[in-house]
Chains A and B, each alone.
Chain A
Amino acid sequence: MNILSEIGESLQRGEDDRVGALVRQALEQRCEPHRILNEGLIAGMDVVGEQFRLREIFLPDVLLAARAMYTGLDLLRPLLARDGVPTAGRVVLGSVHGDLHDIGKNLVSIMLKGAGFDVMDLGNDVPAERFVDAAREHGASVIGLSALLTTTMPVMKEVVELVRARGLAGRVRVIVGGAPVSEAWAREIGADAHGYDAANAVERVRALVAARG
Protein backbone atom coordinates (compact mmCIF):
# COMPACT_ATOMS: atom_id res chain seq x y z
CA MET A 1 0.00 0.00 0.00
CA ASN A 2 1.03 3.55 -0.71
CA ILE A 3 2.39 5.12 2.46
CA LEU A 4 0.05 8.10 2.22
CA SER A 5 -3.07 5.97 2.23
CA GLU A 6 -1.50 3.94 5.00
CA ILE A 7 -1.21 7.14 7.04
CA GLY A 8 -4.85 7.93 6.36
CA GLU A 9 -6.02 4.50 7.38
CA SER A 10 -3.88 4.39 10.47
CA LEU A 11 -5.31 7.78 11.44
CA GLN A 12 -8.83 6.43 11.00
CA ARG A 13 -7.98 3.70 13.48
CA GLY A 14 -6.73 6.32 15.91
CA GLU A 15 -3.18 4.96 16.07
CA ASP A 16 -1.31 8.11 17.03
CA ASP A 17 2.11 6.50 17.53
CA ARG A 18 1.91 4.66 14.25
CA VAL A 19 0.75 7.77 12.40
CA GLY A 20 3.79 9.58 13.80
CA ALA A 21 6.11 6.77 12.69
CA LEU A 22 4.56 6.63 9.22
CA VAL A 23 4.81 10.39 8.75
CA ARG A 24 8.51 10.23 9.67
CA GLN A 25 8.97 7.34 7.29
CA ALA A 26 7.24 9.24 4.49
CA LEU A 27 9.51 12.22 5.09
CA GLU A 28 12.55 9.96 4.93
CA GLN A 29 11.26 8.73 1.59
CA ARG A 30 11.31 12.38 0.49
CA CYS A 31 7.57 12.69 0.28
CA GLU A 32 6.57 16.36 0.25
CA PRO A 33 5.09 17.58 3.56
CA HIS A 34 2.01 19.09 1.92
CA ARG A 35 1.24 15.78 0.22
CA ILE A 36 1.60 13.90 3.49
CA LEU A 37 -0.78 16.40 4.97
CA ASN A 38 -3.39 16.44 2.21
CA GLU A 39 -3.29 12.90 0.89
CA GLY A 40 -2.50 11.27 4.22
CA LEU A 41 -3.75 13.09 7.30
CA ILE A 42 -6.54 15.22 5.85
CA ALA A 43 -7.80 12.47 3.58
CA GLY A 44 -8.01 10.18 6.61
CA MET A 45 -9.73 12.79 8.73
CA ASP A 46 -12.26 13.46 5.96
CA VAL A 47 -13.29 9.83 6.09
CA VAL A 48 -13.56 9.98 9.87
CA GLY A 49 -15.72 13.09 9.65
CA GLU A 50 -18.04 11.53 7.12
CA GLN A 51 -18.34 8.27 9.04
CA PHE A 52 -19.12 10.20 12.21
CA ARG A 53 -21.75 12.28 10.42
CA LEU A 54 -23.45 9.05 9.38
CA ARG A 55 -22.82 7.63 12.87
CA GLU A 56 -21.01 4.66 11.45
CA ILE A 57 -18.45 5.53 14.11
CA PHE A 58 -18.89 7.44 17.37
CA LEU A 59 -17.27 10.21 19.32
CA PRO A 60 -14.50 8.09 20.93
CA ASP A 61 -13.25 7.09 17.47
CA VAL A 62 -13.28 10.73 16.38
CA LEU A 63 -11.29 11.82 19.41
CA LEU A 64 -8.63 9.19 18.89
CA ALA A 65 -8.37 10.09 15.20
CA ALA A 66 -8.04 13.77 16.09
CA ARG A 67 -5.22 12.94 18.45
CA ALA A 68 -3.45 11.03 15.69
CA MET A 69 -4.00 14.01 13.38
CA TYR A 70 -2.32 16.31 15.90
CA THR A 71 0.65 13.95 16.14
CA GLY A 72 1.13 14.08 12.41
CA LEU A 73 0.44 17.79 12.14
CA ASP A 74 3.02 18.60 14.84
CA LEU A 75 5.69 16.83 12.81
CA LEU A 76 4.73 18.58 9.59
CA ARG A 77 4.07 22.12 10.80
CA PRO A 78 7.71 23.30 11.02
CA LEU A 79 8.42 21.82 7.59
CA LEU A 80 5.37 23.42 6.00
CA ALA A 81 6.37 26.78 7.48
CA ARG A 82 9.93 26.34 6.18
CA ASP A 83 8.63 25.54 2.70
CA GLY A 84 7.02 28.96 2.86
CA VAL A 85 3.57 27.73 1.95
CA PRO A 86 1.68 31.03 2.00
CA THR A 87 -1.11 31.24 4.53
CA ALA A 88 -4.55 30.83 3.10
CA GLY A 89 -5.90 33.51 5.42
CA ARG A 90 -6.29 34.33 9.08
CA VAL A 91 -9.20 32.98 11.10
CA VAL A 92 -10.23 33.74 14.67
CA LEU A 93 -12.03 30.73 16.09
CA GLY A 94 -13.73 29.79 19.33
CA SER A 95 -16.74 28.37 21.16
CA VAL A 96 -19.08 31.15 22.19
CA HIS A 97 -19.63 32.54 25.67
CA GLY A 98 -21.31 30.05 27.99
CA ASP A 99 -20.32 27.10 25.84
CA LEU A 100 -17.65 24.72 27.06
CA HIS A 101 -18.01 22.26 24.19
CA ASP A 102 -14.87 22.40 22.12
CA ILE A 103 -14.41 19.02 20.48
CA GLY A 104 -16.07 20.06 17.23
CA LYS A 105 -14.36 23.45 17.30
CA ASN A 106 -11.00 21.73 17.75
CA LEU A 107 -11.66 19.54 14.74
CA VAL A 108 -12.49 22.60 12.69
CA SER A 109 -9.29 24.20 13.95
CA ILE A 110 -7.19 21.16 12.96
CA MET A 111 -8.70 21.03 9.50
CA LEU A 112 -8.31 24.78 8.92
CA LYS A 113 -4.68 24.60 10.01
CA GLY A 114 -4.23 21.61 7.77
CA ALA A 115 -5.66 23.60 4.88
CA GLY A 116 -3.07 26.30 5.47
CA PHE A 117 -5.08 28.84 7.43
CA ASP A 118 -3.48 30.80 10.19
CA VAL A 119 -5.88 29.96 13.03
CA MET A 120 -6.09 31.94 16.21
CA ASP A 121 -7.98 29.65 18.58
CA LEU A 122 -9.52 31.60 21.45
CA GLY A 123 -10.70 28.43 23.20
CA ASN A 124 -14.15 28.04 24.69
CA ASP A 125 -16.54 30.28 26.64
CA VAL A 126 -15.38 33.29 24.61
CA PRO A 127 -17.29 36.57 25.04
CA ALA A 128 -18.54 38.30 21.88
CA GLU A 129 -16.18 41.29 22.22
CA ARG A 130 -13.12 39.05 22.37
CA PHE A 131 -13.86 37.60 18.96
CA VAL A 132 -14.24 41.02 17.42
CA ASP A 133 -11.28 42.54 19.25
CA ALA A 134 -9.05 39.63 18.25
CA ALA A 135 -10.15 39.81 14.62
CA ARG A 136 -9.37 43.51 14.49
CA GLU A 137 -6.05 43.29 16.33
CA HIS A 138 -4.77 40.43 14.24
CA GLY A 139 -6.25 41.43 10.94
CA ALA A 140 -8.30 38.24 10.60
CA SER A 141 -10.78 38.19 7.76
CA VAL A 142 -12.95 35.44 9.21
CA ILE A 143 -14.45 34.81 12.64
CA GLY A 144 -15.51 31.21 13.26
CA LEU A 145 -18.07 30.56 15.99
CA SER A 146 -19.00 27.19 17.42
CA ALA A 147 -21.99 26.50 19.71
CA LEU A 148 -23.41 23.19 20.90
CA LEU A 149 -26.11 24.50 23.20
CA THR A 150 -29.36 26.07 22.16
CA THR A 151 -28.90 28.44 25.08
CA THR A 152 -25.60 29.76 23.72
CA MET A 153 -26.61 30.04 20.06
CA PRO A 154 -27.97 33.58 20.56
CA VAL A 155 -24.42 34.70 21.45
CA MET A 156 -23.62 34.14 17.77
CA LYS A 157 -26.10 36.84 16.91
CA GLU A 158 -24.35 39.21 19.34
CA VAL A 159 -21.06 38.66 17.53
CA VAL A 160 -22.63 39.33 14.12
CA GLU A 161 -24.19 42.51 15.46
CA LEU A 162 -20.95 43.60 17.07
CA VAL A 163 -19.06 43.11 13.81
CA ARG A 164 -21.58 45.46 12.18
CA ALA A 165 -21.58 47.94 15.05
CA ARG A 166 -17.81 48.22 14.83
CA GLY A 167 -18.04 48.88 11.11
CA LEU A 168 -16.23 45.66 10.21
CA ALA A 169 -19.02 44.13 8.12
CA GLY A 170 -17.67 43.03 4.75
CA ARG A 171 -14.11 43.06 5.99
CA VAL A 172 -14.65 40.43 8.66
CA ARG A 173 -16.94 37.54 7.72
CA VAL A 174 -18.61 35.29 10.27
CA ILE A 175 -19.06 31.55 9.89
CA VAL A 176 -21.08 29.57 12.41
CA GLY A 177 -21.30 25.87 13.21
CA GLY A 178 -22.04 23.23 15.82
CA ALA A 179 -24.62 20.46 16.05
CA PRO A 180 -27.75 22.58 16.68
CA VAL A 181 -26.69 25.31 14.24
CA SER A 182 -28.23 25.28 10.79
CA GLU A 183 -28.04 27.17 7.54
CA ALA A 184 -31.42 28.68 8.48
CA TRP A 185 -30.02 29.94 11.78
CA ALA A 186 -27.01 31.43 10.03
CA ARG A 187 -29.34 33.32 7.69
CA GLU A 188 -31.59 34.49 10.50
CA ILE A 189 -28.80 36.03 12.50
CA GLY A 190 -27.08 37.46 9.43
CA ALA A 191 -23.95 35.30 9.56
CA ASP A 192 -22.06 34.93 6.29
CA ALA A 193 -21.81 31.14 6.27
CA HIS A 194 -22.59 27.90 8.04
CA GLY A 195 -20.37 24.84 8.13
CA TYR A 196 -21.97 21.47 8.85
CA ASP A 197 -18.73 19.68 9.60
CA ALA A 198 -15.02 20.37 9.74
CA ALA A 199 -14.33 19.63 6.07
CA ASN A 200 -17.30 21.74 5.03
CA ALA A 201 -16.10 24.54 7.32
CA VAL A 202 -12.80 24.63 5.43
CA GLU A 203 -14.63 24.90 2.11
CA ARG A 204 -16.88 27.66 3.37
CA VAL A 205 -14.03 29.61 4.92
CA ARG A 206 -12.10 29.35 1.64
CA ALA A 207 -15.10 30.76 -0.19
CA LEU A 208 -15.43 33.61 2.31
CA VAL A 209 -11.78 34.54 1.92
CA ALA A 210 -12.02 34.35 -1.87
CA ALA A 211 -15.15 36.51 -1.94
CA ARG A 212 -13.37 39.14 0.09
CA GLY A 213 -10.57 39.15 -2.49
Chain B
Amino acid sequence: MIALLERLRSGEVLVGDGALGTLLMTRGLRPGAAPEALNLSHPETLEEIARLYLEAGADLVTTNSFGGSPARLRRYGLEDRTEEINRAAVLAVRRAVGDRAYVSASIGSSGHLLKPYGDGDPGEIAAGYERQIRALAAAGADLVCIETMTDLAEAVLAVRAARAVAPALPVMATMTFERTRRGFFTVMGASIEQAVHGLTEAGADILGSNCGNGSAVMGEIAREFRARTDRPIAIQPNAGLPEPRGGTIVYPETPEFMAENAKALVKLGVAIVGGCCGTTPEHVRALRDAVG
Protein backbone atom coordinates (compact mmCIF):
# COMPACT_ATOMS: atom_id res chain seq x y z
CA MET B 1 0.00 0.00 0.00
CA ILE B 2 1.36 3.42 -0.94
CA ALA B 3 2.23 5.55 2.05
CA LEU B 4 -0.64 7.77 3.15
CA LEU B 5 1.28 11.03 3.27
CA GLU B 6 2.75 10.43 -0.17
CA ARG B 7 -0.71 10.07 -1.66
CA LEU B 8 -1.90 13.22 0.05
CA ARG B 9 1.17 15.12 -1.12
CA SER B 10 0.46 14.09 -4.70
CA GLY B 11 -2.88 15.88 -4.37
CA GLU B 12 -5.10 12.84 -4.06
CA VAL B 13 -8.27 13.34 -1.97
CA LEU B 14 -9.13 10.48 0.36
CA VAL B 15 -12.43 9.51 1.93
CA GLY B 16 -12.81 8.78 5.64
CA ASP B 17 -15.51 6.63 7.18
CA GLY B 18 -18.63 7.56 9.14
CA ALA B 19 -20.03 7.19 12.63
CA LEU B 20 -19.30 4.11 14.69
CA GLY B 21 -21.14 4.60 17.96
CA THR B 22 -24.61 4.76 16.43
CA LEU B 23 -24.00 1.61 14.37
CA LEU B 24 -22.80 -0.15 17.50
CA MET B 25 -25.99 0.88 19.29
CA THR B 26 -28.17 -0.62 16.58
CA ARG B 27 -26.12 -3.79 17.07
CA GLY B 28 -26.73 -4.08 20.77
CA LEU B 29 -24.35 -1.66 22.52
CA ARG B 30 -26.18 -0.44 25.63
CA PRO B 31 -25.93 3.22 26.61
CA GLY B 32 -23.58 3.46 29.57
CA ALA B 33 -21.57 0.39 28.57
CA ALA B 34 -17.97 0.68 27.38
CA PRO B 35 -18.02 0.65 23.56
CA GLU B 36 -14.43 -0.62 23.52
CA ALA B 37 -15.35 -3.75 25.48
CA LEU B 38 -17.00 -4.98 22.27
CA ASN B 39 -13.52 -5.32 20.74
CA LEU B 40 -13.06 -8.36 22.96
CA SER B 41 -16.63 -9.67 23.20
CA HIS B 42 -17.87 -9.00 19.65
CA PRO B 43 -14.93 -8.45 17.31
CA GLU B 44 -17.04 -9.74 14.41
CA THR B 45 -19.41 -6.76 14.81
CA LEU B 46 -16.51 -4.34 14.40
CA GLU B 47 -15.23 -6.29 11.45
CA GLU B 48 -18.69 -6.12 9.86
CA ILE B 49 -18.93 -2.33 10.31
CA ALA B 50 -15.42 -1.83 8.94
CA ARG B 51 -16.40 -3.90 5.90
CA LEU B 52 -19.52 -1.75 5.37
CA TYR B 53 -17.38 1.38 5.30
CA LEU B 54 -14.76 -0.22 3.07
CA GLU B 55 -17.45 -1.28 0.61
CA ALA B 56 -18.93 2.22 0.73
CA GLY B 57 -15.60 3.52 -0.51
CA ALA B 58 -13.70 4.67 2.57
CA ASP B 59 -9.93 4.93 2.22
CA LEU B 60 -9.46 5.24 5.97
CA VAL B 61 -11.37 3.04 8.38
CA THR B 62 -11.39 3.95 12.05
CA THR B 63 -10.78 1.57 14.94
CA ASN B 64 -13.09 1.31 17.93
CA SER B 65 -10.54 2.77 20.32
CA PHE B 66 -11.76 6.34 20.86
CA GLY B 67 -12.20 5.64 24.57
CA GLY B 68 -9.37 3.10 24.72
CA SER B 69 -7.00 5.10 26.89
CA PRO B 70 -6.35 3.60 30.32
CA ALA B 71 -7.91 6.67 31.95
CA ARG B 72 -11.17 6.06 30.09
CA LEU B 73 -11.16 2.30 30.48
CA ARG B 74 -10.64 2.67 34.23
CA ARG B 75 -14.24 3.88 34.54
CA TYR B 76 -15.36 0.42 33.47
CA GLY B 77 -12.70 -1.50 35.38
CA LEU B 78 -10.97 -2.34 32.11
CA GLU B 79 -7.72 -0.43 32.54
CA ASP B 80 -5.70 -3.63 32.86
CA ARG B 81 -6.93 -4.71 29.46
CA THR B 82 -5.76 -1.59 27.62
CA GLU B 83 -3.31 -3.54 25.44
CA GLU B 84 -5.75 -6.31 24.54
CA ILE B 85 -8.59 -3.93 23.78
CA ASN B 86 -6.57 -1.67 21.52
CA ARG B 87 -4.92 -4.58 19.77
CA ALA B 88 -8.30 -6.17 19.08
CA ALA B 89 -9.58 -2.84 17.74
CA VAL B 90 -6.85 -2.74 15.08
CA LEU B 91 -7.07 -6.42 14.20
CA ALA B 92 -10.83 -6.29 13.60
CA VAL B 93 -10.49 -3.47 11.08
CA ARG B 94 -7.46 -5.06 9.49
CA ARG B 95 -9.31 -8.33 8.94
CA ALA B 96 -12.04 -6.39 7.15
CA VAL B 97 -9.96 -4.06 5.01
CA GLY B 98 -6.70 -5.94 4.41
CA ASP B 99 -4.56 -3.50 2.48
CA ARG B 100 -7.45 -1.88 0.61
CA ALA B 101 -7.80 0.90 3.21
CA TYR B 102 -5.73 2.46 5.97
CA VAL B 103 -6.44 1.38 9.51
CA SER B 104 -6.91 4.67 11.35
CA ALA B 105 -6.30 4.29 15.08
CA SER B 106 -8.76 6.50 16.93
CA ILE B 107 -7.69 8.40 20.05
CA GLY B 108 -10.18 10.51 21.99
CA SER B 109 -10.10 12.71 25.04
CA SER B 110 -8.85 11.12 28.26
CA GLY B 111 -12.14 11.99 29.93
CA HIS B 112 -10.40 14.19 32.48
CA LEU B 113 -10.12 17.92 32.30
CA LEU B 114 -6.53 18.92 32.91
CA LYS B 115 -5.53 20.65 36.12
CA PRO B 116 -6.39 23.25 37.35
CA TYR B 117 -9.84 22.90 35.73
CA GLY B 118 -10.25 19.24 36.58
CA ASP B 119 -8.29 16.40 38.14
CA GLY B 120 -6.30 15.39 35.04
CA ASP B 121 -2.56 15.14 35.63
CA PRO B 122 -0.75 15.90 32.34
CA GLY B 123 2.05 13.41 33.01
CA GLU B 124 -0.37 10.62 33.74
CA ILE B 125 -2.53 11.41 30.73
CA ALA B 126 0.51 11.51 28.44
CA ALA B 127 1.70 8.16 29.79
CA GLY B 128 -1.76 6.73 29.18
CA TYR B 129 -1.77 7.89 25.58
CA GLU B 130 1.67 6.40 25.06
CA ARG B 131 0.49 3.09 26.41
CA GLN B 132 -2.57 3.08 24.17
CA ILE B 133 -0.71 4.17 21.04
CA ARG B 134 2.05 1.63 21.59
CA ALA B 135 -0.57 -1.12 21.56
CA LEU B 136 -2.34 0.28 18.48
CA ALA B 137 0.94 0.63 16.58
CA ALA B 138 2.17 -2.81 17.55
CA ALA B 139 -1.04 -4.32 16.21
CA GLY B 140 -0.36 -2.72 12.84
CA ALA B 141 -2.32 0.54 12.65
CA ASP B 142 -1.49 2.70 9.61
CA LEU B 143 -2.03 6.08 11.23
CA VAL B 144 -2.92 7.65 14.55
CA CYS B 145 -6.16 9.65 14.46
CA ILE B 146 -6.51 12.04 17.41
CA GLU B 147 -10.05 13.37 17.22
CA THR B 148 -12.88 15.37 18.79
CA MET B 149 -10.42 17.28 20.94
CA THR B 150 -11.53 20.52 22.58
CA ASP B 151 -8.57 21.15 24.88
CA LEU B 152 -5.50 22.02 22.83
CA ALA B 153 -3.18 21.13 25.72
CA GLU B 154 -4.61 17.62 25.82
CA ALA B 155 -4.51 17.26 22.03
CA VAL B 156 -0.85 18.26 22.10
CA LEU B 157 -0.15 15.61 24.76
CA ALA B 158 -1.70 12.99 22.47
CA VAL B 159 0.20 14.13 19.37
CA ARG B 160 3.49 14.14 21.27
CA ALA B 161 2.74 10.69 22.67
CA ALA B 162 2.17 9.38 19.14
CA ARG B 163 5.39 10.97 17.92
CA ALA B 164 7.30 9.47 20.82
CA VAL B 165 6.12 5.87 20.68
CA ALA B 166 5.12 5.46 17.03
CA PRO B 167 7.45 7.75 15.11
CA ALA B 168 6.87 5.90 11.84
CA LEU B 169 3.10 6.48 11.79
CA PRO B 170 1.46 9.60 10.34
CA VAL B 171 -0.52 11.57 12.92
CA MET B 172 -3.85 13.20 12.14
CA ALA B 173 -5.24 15.56 14.78
CA THR B 174 -8.68 17.14 14.54
CA MET B 175 -10.52 19.36 16.98
CA THR B 176 -14.15 20.35 17.49
CA PHE B 177 -15.05 24.02 17.08
CA GLU B 178 -18.09 26.14 17.72
CA ARG B 179 -19.04 29.25 15.83
CA THR B 180 -19.04 32.32 18.07
CA ARG B 181 -19.47 36.01 17.33
CA ARG B 182 -15.71 36.33 17.32
CA GLY B 183 -15.04 33.37 15.06
CA PHE B 184 -14.49 29.68 15.66
CA PHE B 185 -13.30 28.41 19.03
CA THR B 186 -13.41 25.12 20.91
CA VAL B 187 -15.47 25.20 24.08
CA MET B 188 -12.17 25.30 25.97
CA GLY B 189 -11.28 28.46 24.10
CA ALA B 190 -8.78 27.36 21.43
CA SER B 191 -9.00 29.24 18.13
CA ILE B 192 -8.24 27.66 14.76
CA GLU B 193 -5.05 29.66 14.63
CA GLN B 194 -3.93 28.35 18.01
CA ALA B 195 -4.90 24.81 17.02
CA VAL B 196 -2.88 24.98 13.81
CA HIS B 197 0.10 26.35 15.66
CA GLY B 198 -0.04 23.97 18.62
CA LEU B 199 -0.77 20.79 16.67
CA THR B 200 1.87 21.54 14.03
CA GLU B 201 4.46 22.32 16.67
CA ALA B 202 3.67 19.04 18.43
CA GLY B 203 4.24 17.16 15.18
CA ALA B 204 0.85 16.44 13.59
CA ASP B 205 1.04 15.66 9.86
CA ILE B 206 -2.64 16.20 9.07
CA LEU B 207 -4.80 18.83 10.80
CA GLY B 208 -8.44 19.70 10.79
CA SER B 209 -11.81 19.38 12.44
CA ASN B 210 -14.37 16.70 13.18
CA CYS B 211 -17.71 16.62 14.97
CA GLY B 212 -19.73 19.52 16.34
CA ASN B 213 -20.89 20.94 13.01
CA GLY B 214 -22.67 19.96 9.84
CA SER B 215 -21.05 19.98 6.42
CA ALA B 216 -21.88 23.60 5.54
CA VAL B 217 -20.25 25.17 8.60
CA MET B 218 -17.32 22.80 8.16
CA GLY B 219 -16.68 24.58 4.85
CA GLU B 220 -16.01 27.78 6.76
CA ILE B 221 -13.76 25.96 9.21
CA ALA B 222 -11.84 24.34 6.34
CA ARG B 223 -11.30 27.74 4.75
CA GLU B 224 -9.75 29.01 7.97
CA PHE B 225 -7.45 26.04 8.23
CA ARG B 226 -6.44 26.43 4.59
CA ALA B 227 -5.51 30.07 5.18
CA ARG B 228 -3.20 29.05 8.01
CA THR B 229 -1.49 25.82 7.04
CA ASP B 230 0.04 23.99 4.11
CA ARG B 231 -0.38 20.62 5.77
CA PRO B 232 -3.07 18.26 4.52
CA ILE B 233 -6.46 19.09 6.07
CA ALA B 234 -9.00 16.52 7.27
CA ILE B 235 -12.66 17.47 7.71
CA GLN B 236 -15.24 15.07 9.14
CA PRO B 237 -18.62 16.76 9.76
CA ASN B 238 -21.64 15.45 11.59
CA ALA B 239 -24.71 14.77 9.46
CA GLY B 240 -25.95 18.16 10.66
CA LEU B 241 -26.98 18.97 14.18
CA PRO B 242 -29.27 16.50 15.92
CA GLU B 243 -33.00 17.28 15.98
CA PRO B 244 -35.63 15.69 18.18
CA ARG B 245 -38.28 13.76 16.27
CA GLY B 246 -40.83 11.46 17.78
CA GLY B 247 -38.92 11.04 21.04
CA THR B 248 -35.68 10.10 19.32
CA ILE B 249 -32.85 12.06 17.78
CA VAL B 250 -32.35 12.45 14.07
CA TYR B 251 -29.36 13.83 12.19
CA PRO B 252 -30.86 15.79 9.30
CA GLU B 253 -28.22 15.86 6.54
CA THR B 254 -28.87 13.40 3.75
CA PRO B 255 -26.00 11.73 1.91
CA GLU B 256 -26.74 13.89 -1.15
CA PHE B 257 -26.66 17.10 0.86
CA MET B 258 -23.34 16.20 2.46
CA ALA B 259 -21.89 15.17 -0.87
CA GLU B 260 -22.66 18.60 -2.37
CA ASN B 261 -20.85 20.30 0.51
CA ALA B 262 -18.00 17.81 0.22
CA LYS B 263 -17.37 19.04 -3.33
CA ALA B 264 -16.88 22.52 -1.91
CA LEU B 265 -14.46 21.11 0.69
CA VAL B 266 -12.42 19.48 -2.04
CA LYS B 267 -12.31 22.75 -3.97
CA LEU B 268 -10.88 24.40 -0.88
CA GLY B 269 -8.09 21.85 -0.94
CA VAL B 270 -9.25 19.54 1.85
CA ALA B 271 -7.32 16.26 1.62
CA ILE B 272 -9.49 13.92 3.69
CA VAL B 273 -13.27 14.13 3.76
CA GLY B 274 -15.24 11.84 6.02
CA GLY B 275 -18.11 11.84 8.47
CA CYS B 276 -18.71 11.93 12.21
CA CYS B 277 -21.87 11.59 14.34
CA GLY B 278 -24.98 10.65 12.39
CA THR B 279 -23.19 9.64 9.19
CA THR B 280 -23.65 6.16 7.75
CA PRO B 281 -22.16 3.97 5.01
CA GLU B 282 -24.65 5.69 2.64
CA HIS B 283 -23.12 9.06 3.47
CA VAL B 284 -19.65 7.66 2.83
CA ARG B 285 -20.77 6.23 -0.51
CA ALA B 286 -22.09 9.66 -1.52
CA LEU B 287 -18.85 11.29 -0.40
CA ARG B 288 -16.89 8.76 -2.45
CA ASP B 289 -18.95 9.59 -5.55
CA ALA B 290 -18.58 13.32 -4.96
CA VAL B 291 -14.84 13.19 -4.37
CA GLY B 292 -14.19 10.89 -7.32
Contact = CB atoms under 8 A, between A and B. Distances in A.
Contact of A97 (B31, B118, B246): B31
A184 B249 CA distance: 12
B113 interface: yes
Given A97-B32, A180-B242, A150 B188 contact: no
A151 B277 CA distance: 10
A153 B277 CA distance: 15
Interface string A49-79: 0000011111111011000000000000000
Contacts of A152: 31
A59 B109 CA distance: 16
A157 interface: yes
A151 B25 contact: yes
A79 to B, nearest CB: 28
A54 B200 CA distance: 29
A152 B245 CA distance: 15
Contacts of B249: 150-151, 153-154, 180
Interface residues of A, number: 27
A89 interface: no
Contact of A157 (B22, B25, B178, B247): B247
A151 B242 CA distance: 10
Contact of A59 (B25, B117, B242): B117
Given A97-B31, A150-B277, A151-B31, A188 B246 contact: yes
Interface of A: 54-61, 63-64, 97-98, 100, 125, 150-155, 157, 180, 182, 184-185, 188-189
Contacts of B187: 58-59
A147 B116 CA distance: 24
B180 interface: yes
Contacts of B244: 153, 182, 184-185, 188-189
Contacts of B180: 54-55
A182 B178 CA distance: 18
Contacts, number: 63
Given A59-B188, A100-B111, A151-B31, 13 more contacts: A54-B181, A55-B181, A56-B182, A64-B117, A150-B249, A151-B21, A151-B25, A155-B31, A182-B244, A184-B244, A188-B244, A188-B245, A189-B247
A58 B247 contact: no
Interface in B245-261: 245-249
Contacts of A97: 31-32
Given A59-B189, A98-B31, A150 B242 contact: yes
B178 A154 contact: no
A38 B244 CA distance: 36
A54 B185 CA distance: 12
Nearest to B250: A150
B73 to A, nearest CB: 14
B247 A188 contact: yes
> In terms of DSSP, what is the predominant structure of the interface of chain B?
loop
Contacts of B185: 55, 58
B280 to A, nearest CB: 15
Contacts of A56: 181-182
A97 B31 CA distance: 8
Contacts of B188: 58-60
B147 to A, nearest CB: 16
Give the top 3 A-B pairs by smallest Cβ distance, nearest first.
A58-B189, A98-B31, A55-B180
A2 to B, nearest CB: 29
B78 to A, nearest CB: 15
Nearest to A180: B242
A104 to B, nearest CB: 11
A125 B111 CA distance: 14
Contacts of A154: 247-249
Contacts of A100: 75, 111
Interface string B90-134: 000000000000000000000101001110000000000000000
Nearest to B72: A100
Contacts of B242: 150, 180
Contacts of B277: 150
A177 to B, nearest CB: 14
A152 B25 CA distance: 12
A165 to B, nearest CB: 16
Contacts of A61: 189
Contacts of B31: 97-98, 151-152, 155
A98 B29 CA distance: 12
B138 to A, nearest CB: 29
Nearest to A58: B189
